[in-house]
Structure 1
Amino acid sequence: MPCPFSRLPEPWAFVRHFTPNWFAVNMGTGVLALVVAHWPWALPGKLALAEALWWFGLGLFGLFSVLFLARVLIFRDSVGPLLEHPVQSMFLGAIPMALAMQISGLLLFGLPRWGEGVVRLAHGLWWLDAGLALFSALWVPYLMFTRQNHALDKLTAVWLLPIVAPEVASATSSLLLPHLHGEAARQVLVVGLLLWGMSLALAFSLITLVLLRLALHKLPDTDFAATSWLPLGPLATGCLGLLGMGQQAPAAFAGTPLAALAENAHGLGLVGGLMLWGAGLWWLVIALLFTRRYLHDDMTFNLGWWGFTFPLGVFVLASLELGRLTGLNFFALIGSGLGLLLMAIWLLVLQRTLLGVWHGELFRAPCLGGSAMPARGVLSTD
């Protein structure tokens, strides 16, 4: 086996070339932890496995945060190229989405272990996550409109990443709301609904552009194979968020003038969730067909492969939740089958990522110039 980091482009590449798409590892690992925890069938040690996955993701999130901050503070000359890069800048939205996964795990695994103090921590972190998500949804598109160069034939679903972050924050609020009361619960619910509406409306607009690009210019090259799964993310997250917030609305607005309206939110959330799940199912089938075609074209591994995990994982969670709410085994069976697929993909992508880290080839930022843009590095626009 080659010496570790033998393919680093420079000695401090793991800092200077650290890119925000590494946070997609947290997203994929965090959603897998939630899927294992909500597995509908009896599985010995499933909660212990789910918690172990969350701890693993939490450790990575801390490491990645330190590396990213070190790049920003030490190699300030690398920040401008990152912000102007038409692909790498989109992954700034992965940071709040990764944080949302840690908050979900904190409520699910930390509350039984450490008690009610966890709720206060999760509550504060949720507001931080909502702020970061809103910032990414505003700032990155502003950079697109003012500083970056884009073209329709280069468009991919990676454009969705910064604007989907608020929707992920809103879906996370449904895990926090059962532990809040009164004004605090109403504030989180209302902000969650606002973030949901903002994000999903923009996501539908971009998905329309993605469909137009696919019809006119066909599939992107194999470096962007995983982006074909990304539209599934906002559809599934929208479904999951609507289901969760709809269930929590009656308790949040009890005793207020909106109590009667909130009582209907459960049913409306279920109907809306079913509609979004149906749209997500269509995109899931299309993404599977696209991936089958890409496999014949000899896909080369890059960090973008983590894009296979999070959208699929959220769709699994939405399927399992619909199965619980409707009592229909149809949803539970689909969710369970896709959950097994998610586990297999996660293991494969993790193994390839660890090899790339060992060799050092994944620490090559496309935004830092030609020497940092090999085919086996992170996603580029070439």
Structure 2
Amino acid sequence: MDIAGAPPNKRARKSPSLEEDITGIRAILSDEFDEEIPLIQAHSCQLETKQQLQAVIQELSQKLPHFQHLKRVQDRSVLICPSSEIGVATTLEQHLEQFAFSEHVLRALCQGVRVVEVPQRMPRLRAQYEKSLKHWPCKFHPNHYSESLRNGSNFSSAQRIFHKRMAQLLVRLSRDVNANRPVGICVDPRQLNIVSIAGAAESSSPHEHCCMLLVDFVARSQEGGATKAELPFTEDSTESLDTTLRGIPKAYYDYLIKDEEYKDLTFGAEKSRDSKGVDPIQGSDNLAKFGPYLCTGYDVYLLQEPCLMCSMALVHSRAKRVFFLRSSENGALATRFQLHSVRELNHHYEVFQFTTQEDQDLT
């Protein structure tokens, strides 16, 4: 059925369904990984002899320590400074005189002067490095993990199967348990235990967004939590000494344990230990050392891309990785901006989006 007002030549985008093929997972990386590195203009000189090189570089590194991400020399060409530092009514020689260069170095720097274009920053990936080399030699420290995130090889086959299964489970729980509203799942990736499940409430209050409730339900598993939820939660069995089901609402748990398709799923959060030695600023290894602390070390799966408030809640709760299936108009991880790549935050999680066959058809 056509949607009224839709362009006649464009197929209306459908919501992901259980039947659709989730084709993969793509990392949502900072723009620094995807964009071409901007170029800036720089003044360079051409040395008459290689014997001048040592003295010139020694004084340049002391008095004009620019271009830390670049190699200062290409053959006998030497980068001096960004062209933007030289005033319109100022010559290079006049600019350099204020730095008290020795006479022979100043003379060398003013020979064969030309303006070149160089990369503004260090490349993050090899593809950027190879493009940068076309302009000027630059420094590059390969990061194999970053490369694997970019090319999609960071997950093993078994991990991809599990992640895809969680994405399909989000769709099913939304449809069958939460009246097609967003749902989130928190998983301890060490044993692949489901720690908590939450669905957005019928209320439009942002405090009852799926993600906000999920973080609070994780806190319940650690004998905390602030939300006074009326829904009943799963009771711990007498056999479970090391894990707790306190963070999983009973409706979701009962639905899953009764379905033959999910009989192999495991549930339960590790119970809180003595947390005196926990340093909340450290990374996910604290989960193994000291036990659960908020969402430290946990993976969060969301049907819907979280808004800014929910994304910040995941920062404060110290989630390890966030996966989402559907983009949101007010999404803060990919659609509007990339909160997880803001350097000033004191915690950063990785973000991944599930791709579908429909996504490929639309590209």
Shared fold (TM-score, shorter chain, > 0.5): no
TM-score by length of 1: 0.22
Hey, which of these two has a bigger chunk of strand by percent? 2
TM-score by length of 2: 0.23
Tell me which of the two structures has the higher relative contact order, counting C-alpha pairs closer than 8 angstroms and 6 or more residues apart: 1
Hey, which of these two has a bigger chunk of helix by percent? 1
